[in-house]
Amino acid sequence: MLDIQIGHHWISHIGPLEVNMDTVITAWLAMGVLLALAIFITRHLNRIPGKVQTVAELTLEFIEGLSVGQMGKEGYKHISLIGSLFLFILVANLMGQLPWRLLPLPGEFASPTNDLNVTLGLALLVSVYYIGAGLIKKKLAYFKHYFQPFWFIAPMNVLEDFTRPMALSLRLFINILAGEVLVLVIGGLVPVFAAVPLMLFELFIAFIQAFVFAILAASYVSGAVADEH
Amino acid sequence: MDPKSAAIIASGLAVGLAAIGPGIGMGNAVAAAIEGIVRQPESVSKVRTFMFIGLAFMEVLALYALFVVLIFLVKFIF
């Protein structure tokens, strides 16, 4: 039999709360990597960009295109949210492919995004942000869109605000978790080499999932701040 | 049949059956997107964005089943 365990976290207690220490540590590590990269890249900025600066500028242009492509001119205001989400999720997803199991660590060190708590936190952040952005842009007129196109659709529109964070968080969480379980299963069946193509595919999935999360967040914000015709 | 093997068979069936619908839908969506790109090559970036959003919505249907099955397996088998 394969000896596979899912969701056995290294739990420690802070007061009455349970904390998944492995998730917290890897999440902070992902943030640390991003912060270190940002400081390293912006330390010696040049008018004629070097290699590192070119890559950074291309990344920024990609994020800008993602945000502005969804929202138009409005998109420049929300680049910080979309870009932070994209970069954090990308780094967090890629961290799952590091050889954590070679180290004698307790719990399940992998991507922080294979924990529902992290992805649900990110998704709730997005839903608070888009409702807040809509309220700031349109004041109380924001609530009018619940009654579009007919007044009796209102319950469905309210329900949508709840299903959006659920779908957003479950999509990311399950994609990453399923990828890791798949690599574990194939690695358990054929111990040598068979899992390598799958791991390469997981790198692709990591990028796609970060892209989808960012673009859906952008389209939700765009729907909340869009002008009505 | 004891409950444990019934649970294993049920979870396998659930994921397999849940993959049928999204599989067909995603195939149709990608086919339509490629057709659009071939007809109008300058619209690549726009079509790609909408295709990914659509694929994400379809994909989540199969993932719901996978989520339920994983909860099921963790609870009853592991």
- Output the CA torsion sign for A167, A173, A176, A177: negative
CB A66 within 8 A of CB A82: yes
> Which structural domain range is residue B35 located in?
3-73
pLDDT for res B20:
94
Q: Any idea what the CATH number is for the domain that residue B39 is in? A: 1.20.20.10
Q: Which residue of A has its CA nearest to B72?
A: A6
Domains identified in chain B, total number: 1
pLDDT for res A4:
66
Average pLDDT over residues A58-87: 89
In a domain, B78, yes or no: no
CB A96 within 8 A of CB A199: no
In a domain, B25, yes or no: yes
B77 pLDDT band (50/70/90 cuts)? low
Q: Do A208 and B63 touch (CB under 8 A)?
A: no
| ipTM metric | 0.79
Per the prediction, chain B carries an average pLDDT of 88
In a domain, B27, yes or no: yes
What is the number of CB-based contacts under 8 A between chain A and chain B? Answer: 43
Residue among A129, A224, A174 nearest A7 (CA): A174
A227 pLDDT band (50/70/90 cuts)? confident
CA distance A43 to chain B (A): 33
In a domain, B34, yes or no: yes
Residue among A163, A167, A176 nearest A203 (CA): A176
How do residues B28-61 score in pLDDT, each as one tens digit? Answer: 999 999 999 999 999 888 888 888 888 888 988 8
- Chain A interface mutation, best of B5, B8, B53, highest count of A Cβ atoms under 10 Å: B53
Q: Do A5 and B78 touch (CB under 8 A)?
A: yes
A32 pLDDT band (50/70/90 cuts)? very high
Q: Do B78 and A6 touch (CB under 8 A)?
A: yes
In a domain, B22, yes or no: yes
Q: Which residue of B has its CA nearest to A69?
A: B46
Residue among A162, A155, A158, A198 nearest A178 (CA): A198
How do residues A85-142 score in pLDDT, each as one tens digit? Answer: 999 999 999 988 888 777 777 777 888 888 888 999 999 999 999 999 989 988 888 8
Question: What is the DSSP annotation of A180-213?
Answer: HHHHHHHHHHS-SSTHHHHHHHHHHHHHHHHHHH
Long-range contacts of A93-99 (CB under 8 A, 24+ apart): A93/A176, A93/A205, A93/A206, A93/A207, A93/A209, A93/A210, A94/A203, A94/A206, A95/A26, A95/A29, A95/A30, A96/A176, A96/A179, A96/A180, A96/A202, A96/A206, A97/A199, A97/A202, A97/A203, A97/A206
In a domain, B28, yes or no: yes
The answer to whether residue B75 scores a pLDDT higher than 90 is no
CA distance B66 to chain A (A): 8
The answer to whether residue A3 scores a pLDDT higher than 80 is no
How far apart are alpha carbons A146 and A135 in whole angstroms? 13
| Residue among B53, B59, B74 minimizing CB distance to A215 | B53
Residues of chain A found within 8 Å of residue B46, distances taken between Cβ atoms: 69
In a domain, B54, yes or no: yes
Average pLDDT over residues A25-48: 89
CA distance A50 to chain B (A): 28
In a domain, B24, yes or no: yes
